[in-house]
């Protein structure tokens, strides 16, 4: 049962030959969620063998070009491939105007339906929910508003059944779903079997938080508290803190401080400047504060295992 993140792009505004602008895909139980869509995203999807046809939800953090310039190309390619499934896009309302304008100018007729969902960005907002997953947006601190992060959280899973106890009490299949949800079991003889005799603890739900362009913003700590995996931008090295503040970005140290304060499982840092060819300083500086840090480089895959 996968909960797996693929990095499609890890650079900031300017791409390089090895690093594309921001884009990621999160695979939750074989459902694929695209997070940001910088220039060249569809090329990266093909390069890293992500099944494009299974992407039905796209989340755009804010309207700086390096986070959405790849979207119109992806939308067009979906249609050329004969897509029929609806595509849901979650973003500031201006993005719908931009995309509709582009399609109109190009006289494009899509083979599927585009459905836009407005992100307001001033508070925590539930964007998507089904029986297994909830996706929320939350405010970040950046030069363009709204700019939001995204929190992907599995819902609490059912309890595990103790097969030997089910067999011992000859519990029929029809009663087992309720037991997994916490019910006790009443035998035909009238004996009440406590649920804890029949089950053991459920697998903990997994979680991922995406915090792209933002200044150091400790207010997000309660929102992302104890997530399994955190992506946090680290555009600058720690000696460039003044520049980071003036451009509403973060340093390596600040990203690591957020991870430490939030007690997350693992930190990924990204949104690197094109002027950095060697990212070892970024990694070393972050690890000084939060040892379990990795670089979110193009093509890397990070898996949150069932525990």
DSSP secondary structure string for all residues of 185-216: EE-TTSPEEPHHHHEEPPPPPPEEEEE-S---
Domain boundaries, the chain: 3-154+204-303, 160-200
- Cβ burial 232-252 (10 Å sphere, 16+ → b, else e): bbbbbbbebeeebeebbbbbb
Residues of each annotated binding site:
62, 64, 66-67, 142, 213, 271
pLDDT grade, residue 156 (50/70/90)? confident
Residues of each annotated binding site for Zn(2+):
62, 64, 66-67, 142, 213, 271
Percent of the chain with pLDDT over 70: 100
Using DSSP's 3-state secondary structure scheme, residue 174 falls into helix
Check if 104 is active-site.
no
End-to-end Cα, the chain, rounded Å? 12
pLDDT tens for 12-26 read 989 998 999 999 999
Nearest-angstrom CA–CA distance, 282 and 23: 20
Using DSSP's 3-state secondary structure scheme, residue 140 falls into coil
- CA pseudo-torsion sign 292, 265, 298, 238: negative
CATH topology of domain 3-154+204-303: Metallo-beta-lactamase; Chain A (3.60.15)
Asked if pLDDT for residue 288 goes beyond 80, the answer is yes
pLDDT grade, residue 264 (50/70/90)? very high
* Predicted model pTM: 0.91
Catalytic residue (choose from 66, 86, 131, 239): 66
pLDDT at 235: 96
Angle at 24 between CA 21 and CA 27, to 5 degrees: 170
Reading the block at residue 172, the tokens are 């029929």
Asked if pLDDT for residue 144 goes beyond 80, the answer is no
Task: Look at 25-29, 117-121, 189-193, 257-261 and tell me which has the smallest mean pLDDT.
Answer: 189-193
């Amino acid at each position: 049962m996968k909960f797996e993140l693929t990095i499609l792009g890890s650079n900031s505004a300017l791409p390089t030959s090895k690093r594309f602008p921001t884009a990621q895909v999160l695979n939750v139980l074989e459902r694929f969620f695209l997070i940001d869509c910088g220039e060249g995203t569809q090329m990266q999807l093909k390069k890293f063998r992500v099944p494009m046809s299974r992407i039905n939800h796209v989340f755009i953090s804010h309207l700086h070009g390096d986070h959405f310039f790849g979207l119109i190309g992806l939308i067009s390619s979906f249609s050329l491939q004969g897509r029929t499934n609806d595509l849901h896009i979650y973003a500031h309302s201006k993005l719908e105007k931009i995309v509709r304008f582009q399609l109109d100018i190009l006289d494009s007729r899509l083979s599927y339906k585009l459905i836009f969902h407005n992100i307001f960005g001033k508070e925590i907002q539930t964007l998507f929910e089904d029986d297994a997953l909830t996706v929320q947006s939350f405010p970040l601190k950046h030069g363009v508003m709204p700019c939001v992060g995204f929190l992907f959280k599995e819902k609490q899973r059912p309890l595990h059944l103790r097969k030997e106890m089910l067999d011992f009490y000859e519990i029929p299949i029809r009663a087992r779903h309720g037991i997994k949800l916490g019910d006790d079991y009443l035998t035909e003889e009238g004996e009440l079997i406590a649920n804890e005799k029949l089950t053991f603890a459920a697998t903990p739900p997994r979680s991922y938080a995406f915090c792209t362009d933002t200044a150091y913003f400790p207010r997000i700590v309660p929102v992302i508290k104890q997530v399994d995996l955190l992506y946090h931008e680290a555009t600058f090295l720690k000696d460039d803190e003044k520049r980071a503040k003036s451009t509403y970005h973060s340093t390596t140290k600040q990203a690591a401080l957020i991870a430490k304060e939030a007690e997350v499982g693992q930190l990924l840092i990204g949104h690197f400047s094109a002027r950095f060819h060697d990212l070892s300083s970024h990694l070393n500086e972050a690890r000084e504060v939060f040892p379990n840090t990795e670089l979110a480089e193009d093509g890397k895959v990070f898996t949150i295992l069932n525990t």
